[in-house]
Structure 1
Amino acid sequence: MSPPPSIASAEAAEPTPVAAPRIALPLPSTDNASLAIGLVVAATACFSAGDVAAKMLAATLPAVQVTWMRYTVFATMVVVAALMISGPGTLRPKSVKLQLLRGVATSSSALFFILGLKSLDVAQATAIHYMSPIFITALSIPLLGERVGAHRWAAAGLGFAGVLIVMRPFGAAFTLAALLPAAGAMAWALGAVVTRKMASDRPETTLAWSALVGLAILSILVPFAWRMPTAHEAGIAVAMGVCSTAGHGLLVVALRRAAASALAPFSYVQILFAVAMSFAVFGRMPDLWTIAGGAVIAASGVYVAHRERVSARAPRVSSRFADDPHVVAEAVAAPPR
């Protein structure tokens, strides 16, 4: 997940953690902004398609195997692209320890999310995963020394209320499986915060390392849960990996054409795609609680994006990461699920 949470994860840059020196850039043209928005919407459609494929596979295959299959395609495509674009030097990071930590965090996020898909609807899991911005806000204080104002805390509280509406932890409809995408959101948030600390590494370096570290970890685990897939399942797995990777690629292109805070609100379209695709493939519509909670979560995310834009224009920016490409990713996309 797909985040959750979505451009809310500097990751976006997963493919997007764009680490780079901060420079003043000219405001994007209206045409560029419109194209970027279209690319973000297309990316969320790709993420949802990949999540639907993952749920199909999770019905018959172990979650760790499904995650490994996704990462196999993801790592292959990303590393080949990185080498073609930047050469072998792209695989040499400035901080190996941080890259390893980020790889562990993002692959854990993907595994938790797919474990949740075994029992939850795609829309429900997606909505819960979008609580990652709440965790990013909380973690940015002790780990980044960031000052979080009342507006962001209020938005985080609203987003948490939305998650509670979706999960209904105190009702008969609650299932422990709902905690899995929440755990995935926490892991994703940790990866996003780590990404912000790696501003000296190029985005393609971070993306390649996350893919390779995740694949290495999953390759250690998958033999203990392996089941030989059928040709049909293998085909779905390839489609799943291609959709996920394509989504990240589209985000990277989008983030080069418009500010992250301007694109972040459109990442929540993923919840709508998750609903539509889940209904088309599985014939299931989420209940009204999930729809209402998803709307509240999206509203909180849109408000955070608005505040980031306000902060970015102010002489004194409350968040030293406002409109940073890493934030972009964090705010614009879901993890490489």
Structure 2
Amino acid sequence: MSAKDGDNVVLAIVLSLVALVLFQSMGLVIKHLSPRFSAPELSAWRNFFGLFPSAIALATSRSWHRNGRPWRLRQWRMAVARGLSTSFAQLFFYISLGTMAYATATTITYANALFMTALAIPILGEKVGPVRWFAVLIGFVGVILVMEPGASTFQLATMAPLLSALLYAVSGITSRLIDPDVPSPLMNLYSVSVSMAASLVIAALTGGFSPITSWSDAFWLLTMGIFGGTAVLVMVISFRMTEQSNLAPFTYFGIPVAFVFGWAFFGETPFSTLFPGGLLIMVGGLTVIWRERVKQRAVTTPTEH
């Protein structure tokens, strides 16, 4: 683990774990609301609440103020594409939460790191060596084991979390194509705004919005927004404290957290589904992250003669 002067790696890791738990808590609320609200509705509500933390993050961005608080993006089409990708990624993930065990759906979405490695070749022109390809292969074997395509319980909806992982990877890759001097909060605000607009259209075309008939549902929708919005803010703060590569390995802590949450709140214990498939996804993803860090050190460390 590397740290630059001024980095607070330990606090950044703690905050990233807090954000992870908040995101998982948001997922629990979404699964709880799924019987009464459609996935497009939940996506629209999530993006609506997501506008507020994105705006707060932008308003407190030093680089944005230092550059004269610009609102225009030269690559606005890329930001729009990222927002659309995120919107459909959310939609597929929320569908999976309503139809699958919580931990199973969540674990499959961790394949996004594997998809990002594969997509980096055609989109970013990166060269991927045998180690990372082997890691991707291991991870996808894990995905197949978790999805159990030959099982009697396999259905088309089982593909939803995998499609979500692919689209989240497209969103992540797209963000790397945007000019590096663009503040992350500004890019995120563009994407969330597009995601909200897209989710509103999808919700309108698939039956509209269900009436909120109880204080309980209103409370849980608000809680979903608070969990998701706070998680975004905490994650942005942690990214400002250290390099993202220092935080990436800890994202896989979400897999055991998802299993514990699914067991504690829904009585789900998908041991046979998640193991060893979930472990292989973790091994593949962590190997990709490790290889990326090795490459970064090789580039930044001067050669001795």
TM-score by length of 2: 0.89
Contact kept? 2:44, 2:200, Cα under 8 Å: yes
Residue of structure 1 in register with 2:16 after alignment: 40
Which secondary structure state, in structure 1, belongs to the residue aligned with residue 69 of structure 2? helix
Q: Offset at 1:203?
A: 0.2
Residue of structure 2 in register with 1:26 after alignment: 4
Structure 1 residues 193 and 240: alpha-carbon distance in aligned structure 2, compared to 1, 3 A threshold: same
C-alpha RMSD of matched pairs (Å): 2.1
Alignment of structure 1 residues 31-180 onto 2, 5 Å: 32-83=8-59, 85=61, 86=64, 89-180=69-160
1-structure distance, mates of 2:26, 2:210: 20
2-structure distance, mates of 1:45, 1:316: 33
Contact kept? 2:53, 2:230, Cα under 8 Å: no
One-letter code aligned to 2:192: A
Which region of structure 1 is more displaced relative to structure 2, 278-287 or 44-53? 278-287
Residue 302, structure 1, aligned to residue 279, structure 2: no
Which region of structure 1 is more displaced relative to structure 2, 266-275 or 248-257? 248-257
Structure 1 residues 81 and 251: alpha-carbon distance in aligned structure 2, compared to 1, 3 A threshold: closer
Structure 1 residues 308 and 81: alpha-carbon distance in aligned structure 2, compared to 1, 3 A threshold: closer
- 1:177-219 Cα offsets, whole Å, 9 max, x none, are 2100111111111111110000242101111011111111112
Residue of structure 1 in register with 2:211 after alignment: 228
The runs of 5 or more residues in structure 1 that have no matched partner are 1-24, 318-337
Which secondary structure state, in structure 1, belongs to the residue aligned with residue 150 of structure 2? coil
One-letter code aligned to 1:231: W
Q: Offset at 1:292?
A: 2.3
Q: Offset at 1:81?
A: 4.0
Residue of structure 2 in register with 1:203 after alignment: 184
Contact kept? 1:133, 1:189, Cα under 8 Å: yes
Highest RCO, 1 vs 2 (Cα 8 Å, sep ≥ 6):
1
Residue 284, structure 1, aligned to residue 262, structure 2: no
Q: Offset at 1:315?
A: 4.1
Contact kept? 1:107, 1:214, Cα under 8 Å: yes
TM-score by length of 1: 0.81
Which region of structure 1 is more displaced relative to structure 2, 273-282 or 49-58? 273-282
Contact kept? 2:53, 2:232, Cα under 8 Å: no
2-structure distance, mates of 1:75, 1:113: 20
Contact kept? 1:82, 1:90, Cα under 8 Å: no
Which region of structure 1 is more displaced relative to structure 2, 141-150 or 286-295? 286-295
Structure 1 residues 184 and 28: alpha-carbon distance in aligned structure 2, compared to 1, 3 A threshold: same
2:232 to 248, 253, 257: 248
2-structure distance, mates of 1:257, 1:77: 18
Residue of structure 2 in register with 1:181 after alignment: 161
Contact kept? 1:94, 1:200, Cα under 8 Å: no
Contact kept? 1:73, 1:241, Cα under 8 Å: yes
Contact kept? 1:91, 1:208, Cα under 8 Å: no
Q: Offset at 1:53?
A: 0.5
Residue 257, structure 1, aligned to residue 237, structure 2: no
